[in-house]
Amino acid sequence: MKSFDIVILGGGPAGLTAALYAVRSGRKTVVIESLMAGGALNLTPEVDNFPGFDLIEGHELAGKMRKQAEQAGAEFIFDTVKSVDFDKRTVVCDGETVLYKSLIIAMGAGPKKLGVPGEERFFGKGVHTCVLCDGVFYRGKDVVVVGGGNTAVEEAIQLSSIAKSVTIINSLDKFTAHAYLVDRLKGVNVFHGQNVVEILGKEKLTGVKTALQAFPCDGVFVAVGRVPNTELFRGKLELSQKGLIVVDGKMQTSVPNVFAAGDVIQKDVRQIITACADGAVAATFASESVKN
């Protein structure tokens, strides 16, 4: 069993920044990440609002963050967290168990689903949540993007250079995406004020249905928000009604020596830069809470 001063759950921008600040405070630090360092940032094609870079691909920025944390002395374990025991201060993964003195939860959020008939049946077989991952399979085909926020518009823009046709179905009366992104929409069909009520198909996906009409298509990309990865902590930490971890100004949770940062916490602004800021604050006070 390995022991660390600070264990960070999640290797996205919040977790990687926390790792950098923790090791620079002289704490033995490990980041536990289930997939790859950078988290969802790796799925962002272009980042143009991160200070210091006019334009940088998401995976490149993620790689720079990881390299900086590693060079500073942070360790990495690529494994899936199964449970956390706050009393024993242990994190149990598939492959091993680690001990911590202070814990930082930075596990991010996953795509929210529509919860309509046909979605689960065709998930991965016509229904997707990542254009960067699956958009290539729809070259020359008709696709629908569900949502009206930044992610939905970004995915529609990407698909417009791949697919034969792209249709956005937005449940709200207008986009919530940034205006500069909406201005980049070219040749995309847009339908506001319609809720998808069913994914259509028998042997394969054939379209989507709203209360007003049906939209024939070969694939559907769902981008209706994200759900925080906090299920492990339900009943153990104070969570908001939306399942977000409640923290104070020091990123301290309701449990001593347990901090949280990034998209798992209750806050108003969710950007890469604010996740980094959360991570820096969490690591600063987590480091102070470690008793030598």
How far is 275 from 281, CA to CA, in rounded Å? Answer: 10
Q: DSSP for the chain, please give it.
A: -EEEEEEEE--SHHHHHHHHHHHHTT--EEEEESS-TTGGGGG-S-B-SSTT-SSB-HHHHHHHHHHHHHHHT-EEEE--EEEEETTTTEEEESS-EEEEEEEEE---EEEPP---TTHHHHBTTTEES-HHHHGGGGTTSEEEEE--SHHHHHHHHHHHTTSSEEEEEESSSS--S-HHHHTT--S-EEEES--EEEEEESSSEEEEEESS-EEE-SEEEE-S-EEES-GGGBTTB-B-TTSPBP--TT-B-SSTTEEE-GGGB--S---HHHHHHHHHHHHHHHHHH---
What per-residue confidence (pLDDT) applies to 270?
86
Question: Domain 2-110+226-289: which CATH class?
Answer: alpha beta
Residue pair 275/19 in contact (Cβ under 8 Å)? The answer is: no
Distance between alpha carbon 53 and the CA centroid of its chain, in Å? 21
pLDDT tens, position by position, 282-292: 999 999 999 75
Active-site annotation, residues = 130, 133-134
Name the CA radius of gyration of the chain, rounded: 20
Task: Tell me which residue of 104, 97, 47, 44 sits closest to 74, measured CA to CA.
Answer: 104
Q: Which residues of the chain are modeled with pLDDT < 70?
A: 292
The CATH number for 113-222, chosen from 3.30.460.10, 3.50.50.60, 3.30.56.10, 3.40.50.720, is: 3.50.50.60
Give the per-residue pLDDT at 36.
84
Domains 2-110+226-289 and 113-222 share a fold: yes
Res 292: pLDDT: 58
pLDDT of residue 132: 83
Predicted model pTM: 0.85
Q: For position 147, what pLDDT does the model report?
A: 97
So where are the chain's domains?
2-110+226-289, 113-222
Give the CA count within 13 Å in the CB-facing half-sphere of 36: 11
